[in-house]
A = this chain, B = another copy of it.
Amino acid sequence: MCQLLGMNCATPTDITFSFRGFSQRAGITSDHSDGFGIAFFEDKACRLFVDNQSAVESPIAEFIRNYPIKSRNVIAHIRKATQGKITLENSHPFVRELWGRQWIFAHNGDLHHFHPRLSARFTPVGNTDSEWAFCYVLDQLVQRFGYVEPTLEQISEALTQIAPSIAEYGTFNFCLSNGQALFSYATSKLHWLVRAYPFKPARLIDLDVEVDFSTVTTVEDRVAIITTEPLTQNEAWTAYVPGELIVFKNGQPVQRSVTHVQRLKREQENPALIRKTKADQY
């Protein structure tokens, strides 16, 4: 399985501390070594770095660990491919433009028999179920709102319907952002926390590194971190309830909702039917 890392902040913040620990899992503390990607929003646009080398060995990842890029919305992904090619086109996060904004998506999990019809407005470049799901999510948003940009509340409400409908097909943990907010959803595993004033020291799990955030922050700072597995050993991480959608804005959750996921009956009745339908599931 892959791992996700998201960050949503009240003020532009660099993610180097969290990314250093997270990227250790790409070959040192874990084996998610089949490529990585990270996207940093600046207003409506974003910088997206992807590589089909591991986040431990990639010169691009090394560059990111040492070059603090400040952003209010960041999504990163390290990959463990169990099937399919390790190519650039299959590397998360994926990007598309909608309503004059970049949209960024990364997925952890796998979907079975998931190949809904797409409108061709958004077409996968690679052959992962993840990018297909991303295109489907954006298609559904356009179907609901047309080309008049909806509010964040309307987008959140739509996602509480769209996400569970995809989760019927398997494991569906994701981070999605349009630069205004970070939408996150989990059916199996995702954790979050908020760092805010008064800040405290944090110690990484994957690397012998501690940062005392009280020495590098101001009262205005507030940072939400979303990750598959907790990154620090001395902070209180909250696990997502299965089916939970959390929308983060300005470094804090602004909406939390849990929706029931109805697994496909035929799979429950006959597990042999479960098969990977796309070349690359992670």
A100 at the binding interface (Cβ < 8 Å): yes
B147, A125: Cβ atoms closer than 8 Å: no
Q: Residues on A close to B: CB < 8 A?
A: 42-51, 59-60, 63, 67, 87-89, 91, 95-102, 120-126, 147
B residues less than 8 Å from A120 (CB atoms)? 147
B121, A45: Cβ atoms closer than 8 Å: no
B residues less than 8 Å from A42 (CB atoms)? 87-89
A259 to B171, CA, bound (A): 54
B residues less than 8 Å from A60 (CB atoms)? 63, 67
Question: Smallest distance from the beta carbon of A54 to chain B beta carbons, Å?
Answer: 16
B50, A59: Cβ atoms closer than 8 Å: no
Question: Smallest distance from the beta carbon of A233 to chain B beta carbons, Å?
Answer: 31
A125 to B101, CA, bound (A): 5
Contact of A88 with B45 at beta-carbon distance under 8 Å, contacts A59-B63, A63-B59, A67-B59 already known: yes
Residue of B nearest to A51 (CB): B47
B89, A45: Cβ atoms closer than 8 Å: yes
A43, B122: Cβ atoms closer than 8 Å: no
Out of B63, B88, B121, name the residue touching A121 (CB < 8 Å).
B121
Residue pairs across A and B with Cβ atoms less than 8 A apart, 13 shown, are: A42-B88, A43-B87, A44-B89, A44-B125, A44-B126, A45-B89, A49-B49, A59-B67, A97-B122, A98-B123, A100-B123, A100-B125, A120-B147
Residue of B nearest to A99 (CB): B123
B residues less than 8 Å from A121 (CB atoms)? 121
A255 to B50, CA, bound (A): 33
A22 to B14, CA, bound (A): 30
B residues less than 8 Å from A102 (CB atoms)? 125
Out of B48, B63, B89, name the residue touching A48 (CB < 8 Å).
B48
B residues less than 8 Å from A97 (CB atoms)? 96, 122-123, 125
Residue of B nearest to A52 (CB): B42
A101 to B96, CA, bound (A): 11
Question: Smallest distance from the beta carbon of A189 to chain B beta carbons, Å?
Answer: 28
A47, B44: Cβ atoms closer than 8 Å: no
A60 to B121, CA, bound (A): 32
In the complex, which of the residues A47, A48, A51 has the most CB atoms of chain B within 10 Å of its own CB atom?
A47
B residues less than 8 Å from A45 (CB atoms)? 87-89, 91, 125-126
In the complex, which of the residues A42, A45, A48, A67 has the most CB atoms of chain B within 10 Å of its own CB atom?
A45
B residues less than 8 Å from A50 (CB atoms)? 47
